[in-house]
Chain A
Amino acid sequence: MAETKGFFTDTTLCIGCKACEVACKQWNQLPDDGFLFTGMSYDNTVHLGASTWRHVAFIERPVPLTPQHDGAFSWLFSSDVCKHCARAGCLESCPTGAIVRTEYGSVYVQPDVCNGCGYCIVSCPFGVINRREEDGQAWKCTLCYDRLREDMIPACAKACPTESIQFGNLEDLREHAKERVRKLHESGAHNAYLYGATAEDQPGTEGLNAFFLLMDKPEVYNLPPDPCVPTKKVKDSWLAAGATAAAMALVAVGAVLFGGRERV
Protein backbone atom coordinates (compact mmCIF):
# COMPACT_ATOMS: atom_id res chain seq x y z
CA MET A 1 0.00 0.00 0.00
CA ALA A 2 1.59 3.19 -1.21
CA GLU A 3 1.32 6.41 0.77
CA THR A 4 -1.95 8.29 0.55
CA LYS A 5 -1.79 10.82 -2.29
CA GLY A 6 -3.95 13.87 -2.82
CA PHE A 7 -4.45 17.39 -4.14
CA PHE A 8 -4.09 20.66 -2.31
CA THR A 9 -5.85 23.30 -4.42
CA ASP A 10 -4.69 26.74 -3.29
CA THR A 11 -7.27 29.12 -4.76
CA THR A 12 -5.16 32.15 -3.92
CA LEU A 13 -2.67 31.05 -6.57
CA CYS A 14 -5.25 30.25 -9.23
CA ILE A 15 -5.40 32.51 -12.28
CA GLY A 16 -8.46 30.82 -13.75
CA CYS A 17 -6.66 29.75 -16.92
CA LYS A 18 -8.48 26.37 -17.08
CA ALA A 19 -5.30 24.55 -18.09
CA CYS A 20 -6.33 21.87 -15.59
CA GLU A 21 -9.65 21.35 -17.35
CA VAL A 22 -8.05 20.86 -20.73
CA ALA A 23 -5.07 18.86 -19.50
CA CYS A 24 -7.55 16.50 -17.82
CA LYS A 25 -9.64 16.18 -20.97
CA GLN A 26 -6.53 15.59 -23.03
CA TRP A 27 -5.08 12.91 -20.82
CA ASN A 28 -8.33 11.08 -20.15
CA GLN A 29 -9.62 11.86 -23.63
CA LEU A 30 -12.96 13.13 -22.49
CA PRO A 31 -15.51 14.60 -24.89
CA ASP A 32 -16.64 18.21 -24.66
CA ASP A 33 -19.62 19.11 -22.49
CA GLY A 34 -21.44 21.22 -25.03
CA PHE A 35 -20.80 24.76 -26.21
CA LEU A 36 -22.85 26.77 -23.85
CA PHE A 37 -22.66 30.48 -23.12
CA THR A 38 -23.78 30.79 -19.51
CA GLY A 39 -23.40 34.46 -18.67
CA MET A 40 -21.70 33.27 -15.48
CA SER A 41 -18.51 35.32 -15.60
CA TYR A 42 -15.94 33.24 -17.53
CA ASP A 43 -17.36 29.89 -16.39
CA ASN A 44 -18.93 28.02 -19.28
CA THR A 45 -18.54 24.48 -17.98
CA VAL A 46 -20.70 25.19 -14.92
CA HIS A 47 -20.18 22.06 -12.81
CA LEU A 48 -18.21 18.87 -12.42
CA GLY A 49 -19.79 16.02 -14.31
CA ALA A 50 -19.31 12.84 -16.27
CA SER A 51 -17.13 14.58 -18.88
CA THR A 52 -15.72 17.42 -16.79
CA TRP A 53 -13.43 16.21 -14.04
CA ARG A 54 -11.83 19.56 -13.30
CA HIS A 55 -13.97 22.66 -13.18
CA VAL A 56 -12.82 26.21 -12.53
CA ALA A 57 -15.34 28.38 -10.70
CA PHE A 58 -15.35 32.15 -11.33
CA ILE A 59 -16.77 34.34 -8.58
CA GLU A 60 -17.09 38.11 -8.95
CA ARG A 61 -17.52 39.83 -5.60
CA PRO A 62 -18.19 43.49 -4.81
CA VAL A 63 -15.63 43.44 -1.98
CA PRO A 64 -11.82 43.71 -1.97
CA LEU A 65 -9.86 40.46 -1.76
CA THR A 66 -8.13 41.53 1.45
CA PRO A 67 -8.05 44.78 3.42
CA GLN A 68 -4.70 45.38 1.71
CA HIS A 69 -6.28 45.65 -1.72
CA ASP A 70 -7.62 48.87 -3.22
CA GLY A 71 -10.95 49.13 -4.89
CA ALA A 72 -14.17 47.37 -3.97
CA PHE A 73 -13.97 44.34 -6.21
CA SER A 74 -12.37 40.93 -6.33
CA TRP A 75 -12.50 37.96 -8.64
CA LEU A 76 -12.09 34.50 -7.13
CA PHE A 77 -11.04 31.41 -9.08
CA SER A 78 -11.16 27.89 -7.78
CA SER A 79 -10.42 24.67 -9.61
CA ASP A 80 -12.88 22.11 -8.27
CA VAL A 81 -12.29 18.37 -8.50
CA CYS A 82 -13.41 15.08 -6.96
CA LYS A 83 -12.48 15.24 -3.28
CA HIS A 84 -11.54 11.55 -2.92
CA CYS A 85 -13.09 11.68 0.56
CA ALA A 86 -11.67 9.56 3.38
CA ARG A 87 -15.26 8.36 3.79
CA ALA A 88 -16.67 8.47 0.28
CA GLY A 89 -20.40 8.39 -0.39
CA CYS A 90 -20.04 7.05 -3.90
CA LEU A 91 -17.65 4.32 -2.81
CA GLU A 92 -19.71 3.09 0.10
CA SER A 93 -22.94 3.11 -1.89
CA CYS A 94 -21.61 1.33 -4.97
CA PRO A 95 -23.33 -2.09 -5.12
CA THR A 96 -21.07 -3.70 -7.72
CA GLY A 97 -17.69 -2.90 -6.24
CA ALA A 98 -16.98 -0.91 -9.37
CA ILE A 99 -15.90 1.96 -7.15
CA VAL A 100 -12.89 1.05 -5.06
CA ARG A 101 -10.35 2.59 -2.70
CA THR A 102 -6.97 2.37 -4.42
CA GLU A 103 -3.55 1.79 -2.91
CA TYR A 104 -3.04 5.57 -3.14
CA GLY A 105 -6.11 6.21 -1.00
CA SER A 106 -7.97 7.63 -3.97
CA VAL A 107 -11.49 6.64 -5.02
CA TYR A 108 -11.58 5.01 -8.44
CA VAL A 109 -14.44 3.94 -10.71
CA GLN A 110 -13.61 0.81 -12.69
CA PRO A 111 -15.15 1.50 -16.09
CA ASP A 112 -15.28 -2.20 -16.92
CA VAL A 113 -17.38 -3.04 -13.87
CA CYS A 114 -19.83 -0.16 -13.37
CA ASN A 115 -23.34 -1.14 -14.44
CA GLY A 116 -24.76 2.34 -14.18
CA CYS A 117 -27.17 1.80 -11.30
CA GLY A 118 -26.86 5.51 -10.52
CA TYR A 119 -26.78 5.14 -6.75
CA CYS A 120 -23.36 6.80 -6.38
CA ILE A 121 -24.71 9.91 -8.07
CA VAL A 122 -27.19 10.67 -5.28
CA SER A 123 -24.77 9.52 -2.60
CA CYS A 124 -22.10 12.13 -3.34
CA PRO A 125 -22.56 15.17 -1.06
CA PHE A 126 -20.51 17.27 -3.50
CA GLY A 127 -22.34 16.42 -6.71
CA VAL A 128 -19.17 15.16 -8.36
CA ILE A 129 -19.80 11.79 -9.98
CA ASN A 130 -22.35 11.61 -12.79
CA ARG A 131 -23.65 9.68 -15.77
CA ARG A 132 -23.53 11.22 -19.24
CA GLU A 133 -26.73 11.45 -21.30
CA GLU A 134 -25.60 9.05 -24.01
CA ASP A 135 -23.53 6.99 -21.65
CA GLY A 136 -24.46 4.01 -19.49
CA GLN A 137 -22.08 4.42 -16.61
CA ALA A 138 -20.76 6.69 -13.93
CA TRP A 139 -17.59 8.74 -14.43
CA LYS A 140 -15.42 10.98 -12.30
CA CYS A 141 -11.83 12.05 -11.61
CA THR A 142 -9.53 9.06 -11.23
CA LEU A 143 -6.70 11.04 -9.61
CA CYS A 144 -4.95 9.80 -12.74
CA TYR A 145 -4.72 6.29 -11.30
CA ASP A 146 -3.01 5.15 -14.49
CA ARG A 147 -0.35 7.85 -14.20
CA LEU A 148 0.26 7.21 -10.52
CA ARG A 149 1.07 3.64 -11.40
CA GLU A 150 4.05 5.04 -13.36
CA ASP A 151 4.95 7.65 -10.73
CA MET A 152 3.67 10.40 -13.02
CA ILE A 153 1.75 13.21 -11.33
CA PRO A 154 -1.88 13.81 -12.38
CA ALA A 155 -2.33 15.74 -15.61
CA CYS A 156 -4.05 18.76 -14.03
CA ALA A 157 -1.42 19.25 -11.35
CA LYS A 158 1.32 18.91 -13.92
CA ALA A 159 -0.21 21.47 -16.26
CA CYS A 160 -1.15 24.06 -13.62
CA PRO A 161 1.12 27.02 -14.44
CA THR A 162 0.89 28.74 -11.06
CA GLU A 163 1.08 25.76 -8.71
CA SER A 164 -2.45 26.38 -7.52
CA ILE A 165 -3.01 22.65 -7.87
CA GLN A 166 -0.43 20.82 -5.79
CA PHE A 167 -0.14 17.04 -5.77
CA GLY A 168 1.73 14.91 -3.28
CA ASN A 169 1.61 12.86 -0.12
CA LEU A 170 -1.42 13.92 1.84
CA GLU A 171 0.56 14.44 5.03
CA ASP A 172 3.08 16.76 3.39
CA LEU A 173 0.31 18.67 1.64
CA ARG A 174 -1.48 19.21 4.96
CA GLU A 175 1.68 20.54 6.58
CA HIS A 176 2.37 22.83 3.66
CA ALA A 177 -1.24 24.03 3.59
CA LYS A 178 -1.27 24.95 7.28
CA GLU A 179 1.94 26.91 6.74
CA ARG A 180 0.41 28.64 3.76
CA VAL A 181 -2.66 29.73 5.72
CA ARG A 182 -0.47 31.07 8.50
CA LYS A 183 1.49 33.11 5.94
CA LEU A 184 -1.69 34.47 4.42
CA HIS A 185 -3.08 35.46 7.81
CA GLU A 186 0.14 37.30 8.56
CA SER A 187 -0.10 39.14 5.26
CA GLY A 188 -3.55 40.29 6.27
CA ALA A 189 -5.68 37.81 4.35
CA HIS A 190 -7.59 36.80 7.48
CA ASN A 191 -10.44 35.06 5.68
CA ALA A 192 -8.16 32.41 4.23
CA TYR A 193 -8.91 28.92 5.57
CA LEU A 194 -8.59 25.26 4.67
CA TYR A 195 -11.63 23.35 3.48
CA GLY A 196 -11.68 19.65 4.31
CA ALA A 197 -7.98 19.34 5.04
CA THR A 198 -8.46 16.93 7.97
CA ALA A 199 -11.10 14.86 9.72
CA GLU A 200 -11.38 17.69 12.26
CA ASP A 201 -12.03 20.22 9.51
CA GLN A 202 -14.71 18.07 7.97
CA PRO A 203 -15.99 15.26 10.23
CA GLY A 204 -18.75 14.35 7.79
CA THR A 205 -16.24 13.04 5.27
CA GLU A 206 -13.41 12.45 7.74
CA GLY A 207 -11.25 14.68 5.59
CA LEU A 208 -10.73 15.12 1.87
CA ASN A 209 -7.75 13.73 0.00
CA ALA A 210 -8.32 16.66 -2.34
CA PHE A 211 -8.75 19.68 -0.09
CA PHE A 212 -8.84 23.41 -0.72
CA LEU A 213 -7.69 26.80 0.52
CA LEU A 214 -10.65 29.17 0.24
CA MET A 215 -11.17 32.88 0.76
CA ASP A 216 -14.93 32.96 1.27
CA LYS A 217 -17.85 30.84 2.43
CA PRO A 218 -17.90 27.36 0.89
CA GLU A 219 -21.32 28.07 -0.61
CA VAL A 220 -19.75 30.82 -2.73
CA TYR A 221 -17.69 28.13 -4.47
CA ASN A 222 -20.69 25.79 -4.61
CA LEU A 223 -19.21 23.63 -1.86
CA PRO A 224 -21.38 22.36 1.03
CA PRO A 225 -20.59 23.97 4.42
CA ASP A 226 -20.92 20.78 6.45
CA PRO A 227 -21.20 17.79 4.13
CA CYS A 228 -21.75 14.29 5.44
CA VAL A 229 -21.37 10.94 3.77
CA PRO A 230 -24.90 9.47 3.94
CA THR A 231 -23.71 6.14 5.32
CA LYS A 232 -22.73 7.89 8.54
CA LYS A 233 -26.44 8.22 9.26
CA VAL A 234 -27.77 5.04 7.69
CA LYS A 235 -28.02 3.33 11.06
CA ASP A 236 -31.18 5.29 11.87
CA SER A 237 -32.74 4.12 8.64
CA TRP A 238 -31.90 0.46 9.22
CA LEU A 239 -33.32 0.62 12.75
CA ALA A 240 -36.50 2.19 11.41
CA ALA A 241 -36.63 -0.48 8.75
CA GLY A 242 -36.11 -3.24 11.29
CA ALA A 243 -38.83 -1.87 13.53
CA THR A 244 -41.20 -1.57 10.59
CA ALA A 245 -40.44 -5.11 9.49
CA ALA A 246 -41.11 -6.40 12.98
CA ALA A 247 -44.31 -4.41 13.23
CA MET A 248 -45.39 -5.68 9.85
CA ALA A 249 -44.85 -9.24 10.99
CA LEU A 250 -46.71 -8.65 14.20
CA VAL A 251 -49.68 -7.10 12.45
CA ALA A 252 -49.68 -9.95 9.95
CA VAL A 253 -49.59 -12.60 12.66
CA GLY A 254 -52.16 -10.70 14.67
CA ALA A 255 -54.40 -10.39 11.67
CA VAL A 256 -54.05 -14.08 10.92
CA LEU A 257 -54.68 -15.21 14.45
CA PHE A 258 -57.40 -12.78 15.45
CA GLY A 259 -58.38 -10.72 12.42
CA GLY A 260 -59.97 -13.64 10.63
CA ARG A 261 -62.62 -14.40 13.26
CA GLU A 262 -66.15 -13.26 12.72
CA ARG A 263 -66.90 -10.39 15.13
CA VAL A 264 -70.03 -10.92 17.17
Chain B
Amino acid sequence: MPKISSLNALAWPLVRQIKNGDVSALDVSTAGSDRTESLEARTKKADRVVGSICPYCAVGCGQLVYIKDEKVIDIEGDPASPLSNGCLCPKGAATFQLVTGTHRMADVLYRPPYATDWEKIPLETAMDMIAQRVKKTRDETWEDKTEKGEPLRRTMGVAHLGGATLDNEENYLIKKLFTSLGIVQVENQARI
Protein backbone atom coordinates (compact mmCIF):
# COMPACT_ATOMS: atom_id res chain seq x y z
CA MET B 1 0.00 0.00 0.00
CA PRO B 2 1.17 3.60 -0.45
CA LYS B 3 3.47 4.78 2.27
CA ILE B 4 1.37 7.05 4.47
CA SER B 5 4.26 9.17 5.59
CA SER B 6 5.03 9.98 1.97
CA LEU B 7 1.57 11.57 1.80
CA ASN B 8 1.86 13.32 5.08
CA ALA B 9 3.51 16.53 4.00
CA LEU B 10 5.89 16.94 6.92
CA ALA B 11 7.39 13.46 6.64
CA TRP B 12 7.53 13.90 2.89
CA PRO B 13 11.15 13.25 1.88
CA LEU B 14 10.92 16.15 -0.58
CA VAL B 15 10.46 18.48 2.34
CA ARG B 16 13.46 16.90 4.03
CA GLN B 17 15.38 17.27 0.79
CA ILE B 18 14.72 20.98 0.70
CA LYS B 19 15.54 21.30 4.40
CA ASN B 20 18.83 19.45 3.88
CA GLY B 21 19.48 21.47 0.77
CA ASP B 22 20.24 18.11 -0.85
CA VAL B 23 20.31 18.52 -4.64
CA SER B 24 20.71 14.89 -5.66
CA ALA B 25 18.41 13.20 -3.11
CA LEU B 26 20.54 10.06 -3.44
CA ASP B 27 21.49 9.69 0.19
CA VAL B 28 19.63 7.67 2.79
CA SER B 29 19.55 10.74 5.03
CA THR B 30 17.17 12.31 2.54
CA ALA B 31 15.39 9.46 0.81
CA GLY B 32 15.39 6.94 3.66
CA SER B 33 12.09 5.62 4.96
CA ASP B 34 11.10 5.08 8.60
CA ARG B 35 11.57 1.35 8.19
CA THR B 36 15.07 1.90 6.89
CA GLU B 37 15.85 4.15 9.78
CA SER B 38 14.84 1.54 12.34
CA LEU B 39 16.35 -1.38 10.42
CA GLU B 40 18.33 -3.87 12.51
CA ALA B 41 19.52 -7.46 12.29
CA ARG B 42 16.79 -9.86 13.44
CA THR B 43 19.32 -11.68 15.58
CA LYS B 44 19.27 -8.64 17.85
CA LYS B 45 15.64 -9.43 18.69
CA ALA B 46 16.46 -13.03 19.65
CA ASP B 47 15.37 -14.18 23.12
CA ARG B 48 18.36 -16.48 23.35
CA VAL B 49 21.27 -17.85 21.35
CA VAL B 50 22.01 -21.56 21.63
CA GLY B 51 25.40 -23.09 20.85
CA SER B 52 25.20 -26.00 18.44
CA ILE B 53 27.21 -28.14 16.03
CA CYS B 54 26.59 -28.63 12.32
CA PRO B 55 24.71 -31.91 11.73
CA TYR B 56 26.08 -32.66 8.26
CA CYS B 57 29.67 -33.83 7.83
CA ALA B 58 32.30 -34.78 10.38
CA VAL B 59 34.24 -31.53 10.35
CA GLY B 60 32.02 -30.40 13.22
CA CYS B 61 31.65 -26.69 12.51
CA GLY B 62 30.23 -24.59 15.33
CA GLN B 63 26.74 -23.16 14.91
CA LEU B 64 24.64 -20.59 16.72
CA VAL B 65 20.87 -21.04 16.85
CA TYR B 66 18.86 -17.84 17.41
CA ILE B 67 15.48 -18.31 19.09
CA LYS B 68 12.58 -15.89 19.44
CA ASP B 69 9.22 -16.88 20.97
CA GLU B 70 10.35 -20.54 20.92
CA LYS B 71 10.79 -20.32 17.14
CA VAL B 72 14.03 -20.46 15.17
CA ILE B 73 14.82 -17.17 13.46
CA ASP B 74 18.37 -17.84 12.28
CA ILE B 75 21.12 -20.45 12.28
CA GLU B 76 24.66 -19.46 11.35
CA GLY B 77 28.30 -20.27 12.04
CA ASP B 78 29.89 -19.77 15.46
CA PRO B 79 32.92 -17.49 15.09
CA ALA B 80 34.36 -18.82 18.34
CA SER B 81 34.95 -22.31 16.92
CA PRO B 82 38.64 -23.04 16.33
CA LEU B 83 37.61 -25.51 13.66
CA SER B 84 35.36 -23.33 11.54
CA ASN B 85 35.84 -19.73 12.73
CA GLY B 86 32.20 -19.09 11.94
CA CYS B 87 32.32 -20.48 8.41
CA LEU B 88 29.80 -22.93 7.05
CA CYS B 89 29.62 -24.81 3.76
CA PRO B 90 26.43 -24.63 1.66
CA LYS B 91 24.90 -27.55 3.52
CA GLY B 92 25.71 -26.12 6.91
CA ALA B 93 24.37 -22.77 5.78
CA ALA B 94 21.08 -24.47 4.88
CA THR B 95 20.66 -25.94 8.37
CA PHE B 96 17.86 -23.44 9.04
CA GLN B 97 15.85 -24.97 6.21
CA LEU B 98 16.81 -28.48 7.32
CA VAL B 99 15.33 -28.10 10.78
CA THR B 100 12.39 -25.82 9.98
CA GLY B 101 11.42 -27.04 6.50
CA THR B 102 7.93 -28.22 5.60
CA HIS B 103 9.46 -31.52 4.48
CA ARG B 104 9.73 -32.59 8.11
CA MET B 105 7.10 -35.04 9.27
CA ALA B 106 5.37 -34.48 12.59
CA ASP B 107 3.17 -37.59 12.53
CA VAL B 108 3.84 -41.22 13.24
CA LEU B 109 2.85 -43.29 10.23
CA TYR B 110 1.97 -46.96 10.04
CA ARG B 111 1.77 -49.19 7.02
CA PRO B 112 0.03 -52.51 7.77
CA PRO B 113 1.15 -55.55 5.77
CA TYR B 114 -0.02 -55.44 2.15
CA ALA B 115 -1.58 -51.99 2.63
CA THR B 116 -1.31 -49.43 -0.16
CA ASP B 117 -1.27 -46.36 2.05
CA TRP B 118 0.13 -44.96 5.25
CA GLU B 119 -2.13 -44.30 8.15
CA LYS B 120 -1.58 -42.00 11.09
CA ILE B 121 -1.28 -43.58 14.54
CA PRO B 122 -0.46 -42.14 17.98
CA LEU B 123 3.19 -42.25 19.05
CA GLU B 124 2.43 -44.27 22.20
CA THR B 125 0.55 -46.92 20.23
CA ALA B 126 3.42 -47.20 17.78
CA MET B 127 5.94 -47.59 20.59
CA ASP B 128 3.89 -50.36 22.19
CA MET B 129 3.51 -52.16 18.87
CA ILE B 130 7.23 -51.92 18.15
CA ALA B 131 8.13 -53.23 21.60
CA GLN B 132 5.81 -56.17 21.07
CA ARG B 133 7.34 -56.88 17.63
CA VAL B 134 10.82 -56.86 19.13
CA LYS B 135 9.84 -59.25 21.90
CA LYS B 136 8.01 -61.60 19.55
CA THR B 137 10.83 -61.78 17.03
CA ARG B 138 13.47 -62.09 19.74
CA ASP B 139 11.68 -64.95 21.43
CA GLU B 140 11.03 -66.75 18.16
CA THR B 141 14.55 -66.46 16.82
CA TRP B 142 16.56 -66.88 20.02
CA GLU B 143 19.73 -68.92 19.67
CA ASP B 144 21.29 -70.31 22.85
CA LYS B 145 24.16 -72.42 21.56
CA THR B 146 25.76 -73.60 18.33
CA GLU B 147 25.49 -77.26 17.41
CA LYS B 148 29.04 -77.48 18.78
CA GLY B 149 27.70 -76.14 22.06
CA GLU B 150 29.46 -72.81 21.81
CA PRO B 151 27.54 -70.01 23.55
CA LEU B 152 25.44 -67.70 21.34
CA ARG B 153 22.89 -66.01 23.63
CA ARG B 154 21.53 -63.95 20.78
CA THR B 155 18.90 -63.30 18.15
CA MET B 156 19.70 -62.99 14.46
CA GLY B 157 16.09 -62.03 13.78
CA VAL B 158 16.46 -58.35 14.59
CA ALA B 159 18.98 -55.96 13.07
CA HIS B 160 19.76 -52.26 13.30
CA LEU B 161 21.25 -49.75 10.88
CA GLY B 162 22.24 -46.15 11.48
CA GLY B 163 24.20 -44.12 13.94
CA ALA B 164 26.67 -41.92 12.16
CA THR B 165 24.12 -39.09 12.14
CA LEU B 166 23.14 -39.66 15.76
CA ASP B 167 24.61 -38.41 19.02
CA ASN B 168 27.15 -40.41 20.99
CA GLU B 169 24.63 -40.72 23.80
CA GLU B 170 22.09 -42.17 21.38
CA ASN B 171 24.56 -44.63 19.92
CA TYR B 172 25.49 -45.62 23.43
CA LEU B 173 21.92 -46.41 24.44
CA ILE B 174 21.28 -48.26 21.17
CA LYS B 175 24.37 -50.41 21.66
CA LYS B 176 23.59 -50.93 25.32
CA LEU B 177 19.95 -51.90 24.85
CA PHE B 178 20.31 -53.97 21.69
CA THR B 179 23.35 -55.86 22.95
CA SER B 180 21.54 -56.72 26.14
CA LEU B 181 18.64 -57.95 24.01
CA GLY B 182 21.10 -60.24 22.26
CA ILE B 183 21.01 -58.34 18.98
CA VAL B 184 24.42 -58.48 17.29
CA GLN B 185 23.60 -57.06 13.88
CA VAL B 186 24.03 -53.42 14.83
CA GLU B 187 25.58 -51.40 12.02
CA ASN B 188 25.93 -47.86 10.68
CA GLN B 189 27.23 -45.67 7.90
CA ALA B 190 30.82 -46.06 9.11
CA ARG B 191 30.78 -49.25 7.10
CA ILE B 192 29.13 -47.68 4.07
A and B touch in the complex (CB under 8 A): yes
Contact indicator A161/B26 (Cβ below 8 Å): no
Q: Mark A144-164, 1 if CB is under 8 A from B, else 0.
A: 011101101001001111000
Contact indicator B87/A102 (Cβ below 8 Å): no
Looking at the complex, which one of A101, A112, A155 makes contact with B35 (CB distance below 8 Å)?
A: A112
8 Å CB interface, A21-42 against B: 21-23, 26-27
B89 within 8 A of A: yes
Q: Mark B39-50, 1 if CB is under 8 A from A, else 0.
A: 111111000000
8 Å CB interface, A135-188 against B: 145-147, 149-150, 152, 155, 158-161
Contact indicator A150/B33 (Cβ below 8 Å): no
Contact indicator B94/A26 (Cβ below 8 Å): yes
Contact indicator A100/B41 (Cβ below 8 Å): no
8 Å CB interface, B76-92 against A: 76-77, 79, 84, 86-92
The tally of CB-CB contacts under 8 A between chains A and B is 94
Chain B residue contacts of A43, Cβ below 8 A? none
Q: How far is A102 from B30 in the complex, measured between Cα atoms in Å?
A: 10
Contact indicator A97/B36 (Cβ below 8 Å): no
Chain B residue contacts of A17, Cβ below 8 A? 89-90
Q: How far is A158 from B76 in the complex, measured between Cα atoms in Å?
A: 9
Looking at the complex, which one of A26, A110, A150, A158 makes contact with B44 (CB distance below 8 Å)?
A: A150
* Of A18, A22, A91, A112, most B-chain CB atoms within 10 Å: A22
The total of chain A residues at the interface (CB under 8 A) is 31
Q: How far is A98 from B31 in the complex, measured between Cα atoms in Å?
A: 7
Q: Least Cβ distance of A115 to chain B in Å?
A: 9
Q: If the complex has contacts A110-B32, A150-B43, are A27 and B76 also in contact, measured as CB distance less than 8 A?
A: yes
Contact indicator B40/A26 (Cβ below 8 Å): no
CB closest chain-B residue, reference A96: B31
Q: If the complex has contacts A101-B26, A103-B28, are A110 and B74 also in contact, measured as CB distance less than 8 A?
A: no
Contact indicator B35/A149 (Cβ below 8 Å): no
A128 within 8 A of B: no
Contact indicator B32/A158 (Cβ below 8 Å): no
Contact indicator B93/A22 (Cβ below 8 Å): yes
Contact indicator B39/A145 (Cβ below 8 Å): yes
A-B contact pairs, 22 of them (CB 8 A): A19-B93, A21-B90, A22-B91, A23-B90, A23-B93, A26-B75, A26-B76, A26-B96, A26-B97, A91-B26, A100-B26, A100-B27, A100-B36, A101-B27, A108-B36, A110-B36, A112-B3, A112-B33, A146-B39, A158-B76, A159-B87, A161-B87
Residues on B lying within 8 angstroms of A by beta carbon are 3, 6, 13, 25-28, 30-33, 35-36, 39-44, 74-77, 79, 84, 86-94, 96-97
Q: A97-B31, A149-B41, A159-B76 are in contact. List 10 more A-B contacts (CB 8 A).
A: A26-B75, A97-B30, A100-B28, A108-B28, A110-B36, A113-B3, A145-B39, A146-B41, A152-B41, A159-B89
